[in-house]
Structure 1
Amino acid sequence: MTGVGGGLLERGRVTQALYLILVLFLCVLGLAFPGEVRADSPATAASAPATGAARVPVTPADILLLAAQDQRFADRLRRQLARPDPAQDLLASLAALDASVEEKLRAFGADALAELPIARLESLDRHWKFDARRFAQWQADAQRKLMPFDDAAAQVARRRQVWEATRASAVLDQLPPAMLERVDVVLAALDQVRQDLAAPLARQVELSRRADALAAQIETGSAEVEDAIALIDRRLLAVDAPPLWALPARAAAAPEGEEFSRGMEIEAQFARDYVAAAPVNRRALLVLQPLLLMLMLLARHRSRDWPADASDDRAALHRPIAAWLLLSMMSVLVLEPEAPLLAHQVALLIALVPLLRLLPTRRQPVLDHWPLVAVGLYVLNFAALVPSATGIGYRFVHLGLTLLALGLTLWLLWRSHRPVHDPSAARAVRVARAAAWCAAALLGTALVMNVVGNVSLADMLLGGVIESGYFGLLLYATVGVARALLRALLDETFLQPLPLLQRHSRQLFGMLSRALVAGAAVGGLAYAMTAFRVMRPAQGALTAMLGYHFEVGEISVSLGDLLVFALSVLIAWWVARAVRQVLGEQLSARPSLPRGVANSVASLSYYAVLLLGFLLALSAAGFKVSQLALVFGALGVGIGFGLQNIVNNFVSGLVLMFERPLRPGDVVEVAGAAGRVQAIGMRATIIRTFDGAEVVVPNGTLLSSSLTNWTLVDHSRRIEIEVGVVYGTEPAQVLALLQAVALATPGVAAQPAPSALMKGYGDSSLDFVLRAWTTDFDNWTSIRSAMLVNVNTALGEAGIQIPFNQYDLNLRSVSGEALAVLRPEPPGALPDVEPLAPSR
């Protein structure tokens, strides 16, 4: 009884802890949906004298108290105004941004933009967007620093009105002179503060005027660049140069390097502004790169003991410096999307050498010479951006590069017909061949467009094919290196201090590998769309589609809001599953906790995270509390009419998880179903019967009906066997024999000790009962069967018979044939029983 009582006490403490968790959860729910403050609430009433009733005079009883408060308020404001004005620093940063904007507007007007190539326009557009983000940050900083001055001016005006009204009424009320003097002192202090605030507020007005002018300039410059890019996009299908057969004998050439120097001027100005701004992601990149180097060296050291099936990953780590350099350059593209376009191009060029050194040697026969061709064409295409001549010379350079790229592509396609025996390699070859045929078709189109005079389309197709092919190769090598680094970091021996991650290292590695491949695919698609100049119109169409709003009553949502809501709910569901699994495993590994606590805590945490994620998803989608009131009001009506059972089962599920009358793994009997509890949900509980069927029992039924739980406290079970022996047997001998058999049977508990009792006198036997306990509930039927066999064997060895039912049969008459069968007589003997008379 002591052990059972201690267990019940422990369960009681755990139940109290779970109830506390529920109360905290409900508090979080209340914080997520705070009630709206009514106009007649105490909070509103307390703030009314300071807002709506500003002209109400102060009562004589409160003059001294409120005068002291306002005097301290005025003194505090004067001390703050004595500090340096933050408007000066804001003005300096705004002037620097204004100078950059003015320089771009002066150097690149509408006429100059029409002469720039698309690459420089894209870089200039990125620069304008960077300025817009800097200006937005400046506005947030200005609002944070200058908002106290606006609030102080409003409070001074409001308090001064109150004291003026008090001074006017004091003359009528004939207040004592001391109180009138006190009112005049407070009014003088507030007037002085108002005069001191005049100069900072004037500077703020001037600062706001300049900020508005700068915002208009940024919008104008950005719009002009976007119009120039849109004009070039619209001219892609138009002939913009004479065909090659109609070229003039001599064409006017632009000044040597003029276009290149103008482009470098754009990039240099952007680089200066970007470095001066020092964005957070750039600082994060400077911290990440040394960390990546240390991780690569550690992974190289740990990869020496990898099995043979990880040869590709080990090869990716064989050159850690090259792998680090490749990851560093790719992280520039990921972490610094706002950087100048030239910085991204330089990063891609730097990645050339590590790319060629990190391609896996085992797959080299599959890749053939594709990497060398892709890298060589990318270098030549980059060099073509700095031609020694413009006009016809630039056109012939691109024509030759197009012919070279098309010839190399067709040559590699011809070489790829060699048989490949590896199935995975054969699939890779088929994908590469399909991509190569698409590239050949695009290069052929570019060649024709260059000949007929559509130079802009030919340039775009050539650059898109070359840049997309090179970037795809970069992604292939980067995924290989990142996958090898993940394998090293998720190695089971490396994760020994983290047993949870160690147990799931393979699943985690597979999940992260798939995420890497998916991210690389999305990044490659986005880069290709940008290279082929379809990203901008696609973004515009997608923005217009996701921005479409539709209203239902007072609720106004857009397709983008619905998409954000769906993604947020998906993320919340994934996080909730992870939390439930982690808590379930961690708590189940603690033997000090009672059985079932891990499941209750994990399930409650799962639904709590789901509910919190749902609320955050609604907030992210733009729903407001007033709009959600309609939804929950409609839900309340639905509950009142048709969802009572669902709510009943939901609340019953909470009660089951807190009181824990049954837990997963328990053997129960309820509602005509007997079996083992598989899972306890918020609506229903799944019971697996001993026949293999799964019965779904609503939680409300479990609480309202009689529930038999065989394993609530422990796994003990009493086994009872009834035995009958023939009359004349010594009862003491039978009792001793039965008890000895029970003690000798494996699985029978010694405490409580088995007991054998004489039950009574039967019709043809002396009846005994054998009772024994076992702590192995799962095998109690096998133990009972063994006891039956052992009892039968022991009774036979002792010569004790188990009787069968005996009956006395009295026959009044019997036929001769039956008599002959029952008792055959010698010939000539007379029967003892008179035979039946023949029937008439």
Structure 2
Amino acid sequence: MNIMNRFIKFLIFGAFLFLQIFAKAQEPLSEIFITLAGDTVIIHPVVITDINSKIKSISQRVNSINKGMVKNQEVVRVDSLIIADKLLITEENSRIEGIKEFVTIKNIEDLKREWSAYHDQYTGLQENITKRTKWFESELEYVNIEIQTWRLTKKALKNEKAPAEILKRIIATTNELKKLKKELKTRQSEIFIIQNDLADLLLKINVISVNLDNTMSELQLQILIQDSPFLWNALDSTVQFARLKHRFNESLGENVRVVNSFLPKNKTRAIIHFIIIIIIIILLFVLNRRVRLLKLPEGEKKYQNIKYVLYHYIASTLLLGLIITTWLYPDIPTSVRELMVLLLLIPSAFLIPVLAKGRVKQFLFIILFIFFINEILFFYQAKLFFSRIALLVENAIMIWVIYKIIISQKRTKSLLLGKWWIWIIKLSKLFLLLLIASVFSNLFGFMNLAVLLNKTVVSALLFAIVLSLFVIVVNSAVIILLKSKVLQQSKIIFKYSLFIELKIFLIVQITAFFLWLRAILISIGFLTNVYNWLIELIYHEWEVGPISFSIIGILGFFTLLIATYIVAKAIKMFLEEEIFSRVTLPRGVPGAITMLTGYFIVGTGILLALSVAGIDLSKFSLMAGALGVGIGFGLQNVVYNFISGLILAFERPVQAGDTVEVGTLLGVVKHIGVRSSTVRTFDGSEVIVPNGNLISNELVNWSLSDKRRRREVKVGIAYGTHPQDVLDLLAKVADSHKNVLKVPKPLCLFDSFGEYSLDFRLLFWVPLDSGLTIQSEVTMLVYKALEEAGMHIPFPQHDIHIKSFDPTVQKTVF
């Protein structure tokens, strides 16, 4: 019985379970969940009515993916570069290890620059390959989702007993997607291999760069270390000659290699450089022709120098063309840069007569020669005995030159052109001490220090010469350009040419000063150190409570504010002088445009300055609310006047140049500002009037619609004169004056019978700016005409009728 009961229970449970499974099987598959890239994606089957359009869309996407999988030129180039550069990097690393014995700071700088270029190149390639990898990941994710979607769709349609043709299309689409997935994974693996090789190359390049940095630091630390024997113990001619020859071959080979690698990489820049030089030489040639036609003062030294500089336009072009390499080739190798500096000696030698006269000119030529010898000397090895003797002789000559400059400072200043030579002469005592220190360093074997001190002085003086000539050439060209007929057509240049000259001269001098500092640091090999130190300093952030600031933020803030002010003033001047003076616009429109443009520039500049300073404006919402309350109370007059200024700009009831009368104030509006306007009275005083007064109070604008004003002359004629004759005479007088306007026509009126005269009025219109003068002249003409016509102007008189006299008075009077 128990067995039977258990059997029945088992059958019931089995039947129940079967029914549940059958019921589940009958339910349509609605969705599944899959995980891709850590995210859960819900997949729904495709509705049978959308299958055809969905398959068409997938077919188009598959074609697009197949096209994208084709190896593009970038991937092929990267693949070939990796294969070639693996061997190149290994060879270069071995070569660097081999030349460490003879390497100098100059060589290290070139190598660092070269490997930095390699690093930048491969970093860019790595970014492109990373983008390619992400594309493959995205497409694989899409394909996986579509495969799961069509699997789910196939199961759902089987349960619904869909047509066999549809199921076949689904199976074909699924197979195509699976094939595409396999191909994508294969290509993705290839990209991963390239990406891995790139990472290995970058790692090797970073290791080499670190080694170069360490070598540079070691060389710089050796400056204060005795690296050579005493000079009197260093003579060994056989060994020295062999080392000299070996060093020459090493240096020559290294320099040739650097130059050869530099030229192919800078073809585009070289073409641009050549075009700029052609433009400069044409410009200076034209200016040379132009200066002959201009009648310049013969006695002034400035114009004599201009003629000399432009006459030697080829040397001037070469000077400018070589100096601009600083901007055109920011990563120029040291060997190429030194070649450029040597070439600078040629135009400098031609142009020195414009910089100095007499004996000082000879000193400058000596400095050029010493620099040339220096470059040849340090091409070899400064630690060689031959080089040390040459350095000793150089220092002796330079000490003599600087000593002569010191003992005759006043005469030297008078013979040198350029204000900054005053500071160079003041530094001459320091230069003298450095040269003496270089001599002792050479004698006692501190050759790195001796070379550093010598190069500091010689480079400072040479680049002072070169950049002084640069300033003279640029200033000469600017002066003649501003005097040209083409530029003189500009009203701004015509009116403010001297002001523009001075500002350009200031900019050129500041530029030359920073180029001078940069050139000295490059010459002695400390530019990178100083640059890195400055970058670290100015970008370092200091925190004071919740506020953080940096030097670069403060400098950027004030620089942008100053630049905003300059740009706003320049654009205002340009609009007023160049645009609105040549274009006819409705009254007041030019002033409104100028004002609103100024507001826009200033507002934009302030926002940019705050952004550069690192101030987050979103954090000032509470402050803005408090400021709004403050404006509502304490600053309401300021805001009121500001809004009034905007109303004046748009409504234009008043503009600069108008003659206005506000209360007892009568004068000409000189300027309409943000908060107030300036009115110049006819007595010469300038009154600051808040803009709100011009809007809220009654204002008389004598020149709102036109610049005409009616004037009046009153005259009284003796009784007995015919009134019509007087009217005709007054009309004739008004018509005879050339400045009295004919329209409206002058009006003559017989006003009244006065106590002792017939009263007349002469009304006439005159230009506003000369009304008082014309009124006075017309009055004089009226008087003259009346006198000629015999018409008398009576004076006040009274008749007295005496009825009776006091006897005493009668006896006294009569």
- TM-score in same-fold range (> 0.5): yes
- Please state if 1:105 is matched with 2:96: no
- Residue 360 of structure 1 aligns to a residue whose secondary structure is helix
How is 1:765-804 mapped onto 2 (pairs within 5 angstroms)?
766-774=758-766, 776-795=767-786, 797-804=789-796
Residue matched to 2:365 = 372
TM-aligned CA distance change 1:130 to 1:734, over 3 Å: same
Residue matched to 2:334 = 341
- Please state if 1:638 is matched with 2:627: yes
Residue matched to 1:202 = 189
Residue matched to 2:291 = 303
Residue by residue, what CA displacement relative to the aligned partner does 1:191-214 show, whole Å, maximum 9, x if unpaired? 444333323322332232233233
TM-aligned CA distance change 1:62 to 1:343, over 3 Å: same
- Please state if 1:212 is matched with 2:199: yes
- Residue 584 of structure 2 aligns to a residue whose secondary structure is coil
Contact 2:360 2:412 in 1 (8 A): no
TM-aligned CA distance change 1:506 to 1:549, over 3 Å: same
Amino acid at match of 2:562: L
Residue matched to 1:48 = none
| In 2, Cα distance between equivalents of 1:264 and 1:183 | 72
| In 2, Cα distance between equivalents of 1:95 and 1:798 | 118
TM-aligned CA distance change 1:622 to 1:596, over 3 Å: same
Contact 1:326 1:351 in 2 (8 A): yes
Residue by residue, what CA displacement relative to the aligned partner does 1:30-68 show, whole Å, maximum 9, x if unpaired? xxxxxxxxxxxxxxxxxxxxx999536377476665554
Residue matched to 1:46 = none
How is 1:490-501 mapped onto 2 (pairs within 5 angstroms)?
490-495=482-487
In the TM superposition, what is the alpha-carbon distance from 1:373 to its structure 2 partner?
0.9
Contact 2:482 2:488 in 1 (8 A): no
Contact 2:708 2:768 in 1 (8 A): yes
**Greater shift after overlay, 671-680 or 249-258?**
249-258
- Residue 763 of structure 2 aligns to a residue whose secondary structure is strand
Contact 2:284 2:310 in 1 (8 A): yes
Amino acid at match of 1:201: Q
**Greater shift after overlay, 219-228 or 244-253?**
244-253
Unaligned runs of 5+ in 1: 1-50, 827-840
How is 1:291-440 mapped onto 2 (pairs within 5 angstroms)?
291-306=279-294, 307=296, 308=298, 309=300, 310-360=303-353, 363-365=356-358, 367-387=360-380, 391-411=384-404, 416=408, 419=411, 431=423, 433-440=425-432
Residue matched to 2:532 = 540
Residue by residue, what CA displacement relative to the aligned partner does 1:319-371 show, whole Å, maximum 9, x if unpaired? 33333333333233442131211111111222323221222258331633122
In the TM superposition, what is the alpha-carbon distance from 1:485 to its structure 2 partner?
3.5
How is 1:443-454 mapped onto 2 (pairs within 5 angstroms)?
443-454=435-446
Decide which of 208, 219, 230 is 2:217's aligned counterpart. Answer: 230
| In 2, Cα distance between equivalents of 1:96 and 1:813 | 142
TM-aligned CA distance change 1:56 to 1:741, over 3 Å: farther
Residue matched to 1:79 = 67
| In 1, Cα distance between equivalents of 2:396 and 2:708 | 86
- Please state if 1:663 is matched with 2:651: no
| In 2, Cα distance between equivalents of 1:536 and 1:347 | 20
In the TM superposition, what is the alpha-carbon distance from 1:222 to its structure 2 partner?
2.3
| In 1, Cα distance between equivalents of 2:785 and 2:688 | 45
TM-aligned CA distance change 1:719 to 1:156, over 3 Å: farther
| In 2, Cα distance between equivalents of 1:789 and 1:778 | 19
Residue matched to 2:5 = none
- Please state if 1:131 is matched with 2:124: no
Please give the root-mean-square deviation of Cα atoms over the aligned residues, in Å: 4.1
In the TM superposition, what is the alpha-carbon distance from 1:524 to its structure 2 partner?
0.8
In the TM superposition, what is the alpha-carbon distance from 1:312 to its structure 2 partner?
0.9
Contact 1:251 1:392 in 2 (8 A): no
Contact 2:133 2:192 in 1 (8 A): no
In the TM superposition, what is the alpha-carbon distance from 1:665 to its structure 2 partner?
0.7
**Greater shift after overlay, 731-740 or 61-70?**
61-70
Contact 2:679 2:687 in 1 (8 A): yes
Residue matched to 1:21 = none
- Residue 223 of structure 2 aligns to a residue whose secondary structure is coil
Residue by residue, what CA displacement relative to the aligned partner does 1:455-501 show, whole Å, maximum 9, x if unpaired? 22111101222222222222223333333333444442354676765
| In 2, Cα distance between equivalents of 1:238 and 1:814 | 133
Amino acid at match of 1:667: T
**Greater shift after overlay, 251-260 or 735-744?**
251-260
| In 1, Cα distance between equivalents of 2:151 and 2:541 | 51
Residue matched to 2:585 = 593
Residue matched to 1:751 = 743
| In 2, Cα distance between equivalents of 1:484 and 1:347 | 24
| In 2, Cα distance between equivalents of 1:701 and 1:63 | 77
| In 2, Cα distance between equivalents of 1:619 and 1:179 | 61
In the TM superposition, what is the alpha-carbon distance from 1:683 to its structure 2 partner?
3.2
Residue matched to 1:6 = none
In the TM superposition, what is the alpha-carbon distance from 1:719 to its structure 2 partner?
1.7
- Residue 124 of structure 1 aligns to a residue whose secondary structure is helix
TM-aligned CA distance change 1:804 to 1:74, over 3 Å: farther
In the TM superposition, what is the alpha-carbon distance from 1:654 to its structure 2 partner?
3.4
| In 2, Cα distance between equivalents of 1:805 and 1:323 | 89
Among all aligned residue pairs of Structure 1 and Structure 2, give the percentage whose two residues are the same amino acid.
Answer: 23
| In 1, Cα distance between equivalents of 2:568 and 2:584 | 25
TM-aligned CA distance change 1:544 to 1:332, over 3 Å: closer
- Please state if 1:471 is matched with 2:463: yes
Residue matched to 1:575 = 567
| In 2, Cα distance between equivalents of 1:788 and 1:422 | 65
- Residue 756 of structure 1 aligns to a residue whose secondary structure is strand
TM-score, structure 1 as length reference: 0.79
Decide which of 595, 606, 610 is 1:603's aligned counterpart. Answer: 595
In the TM superposition, what is the alpha-carbon distance from 1:393 to its structure 2 partner?
4.7
Residue by residue, what CA displacement relative to the aligned partner does 1:220-245 show, whole Å, maximum 9, x if unpaired? 32232222222333333344444446
TM-aligned CA distance change 1:157 to 1:577, over 3 Å: farther
- Residue 661 of structure 2 aligns to a residue whose secondary structure is strand
In the TM superposition, what is the alpha-carbon distance from 1:667 to its structure 2 partner?
0.9
How is 1:264-283 mapped onto 2 (pairs within 5 angstroms)?
264-278=252-266, 280-283=268-271
- Please state if 1:290 is matched with 2:278: yes
Contact 1:71 1:189 in 2 (8 A): no
TM-aligned CA distance change 1:148 to 1:302, over 3 Å: farther
Residue correspondences, number: 766
| In 1, Cα distance between equivalents of 2:688 and 2:165 | 83
How is 1:257-268 mapped onto 2 (pairs within 5 angstroms)?
257-268=245-256
| In 1, Cα distance between equivalents of 2:799 and 2:393 | 117
| In 2, Cα distance between equivalents of 1:333 and 1:482 | 16
How is 1:236-251 mapped onto 2 (pairs within 5 angstroms)?
236-244=223-231
**Greater shift after overlay, 805-814 or 645-654?**
805-814
Residue by residue, what CA displacement relative to the aligned partner does 1:419-471 show, whole Å, maximum 9, x if unpaired? 57958769787555434433222110111222233222111101222222222
Contact 1:243 1:452 in 2 (8 A): yes
| In 1, Cα distance between equivalents of 2:273 and 2:782 | 80
How is 1:811-826 mapped onto 2 (pairs within 5 angstroms)?
819=809, 824-825=812-813
**Greater shift after overlay, 804-813 or 286-295?**
804-813
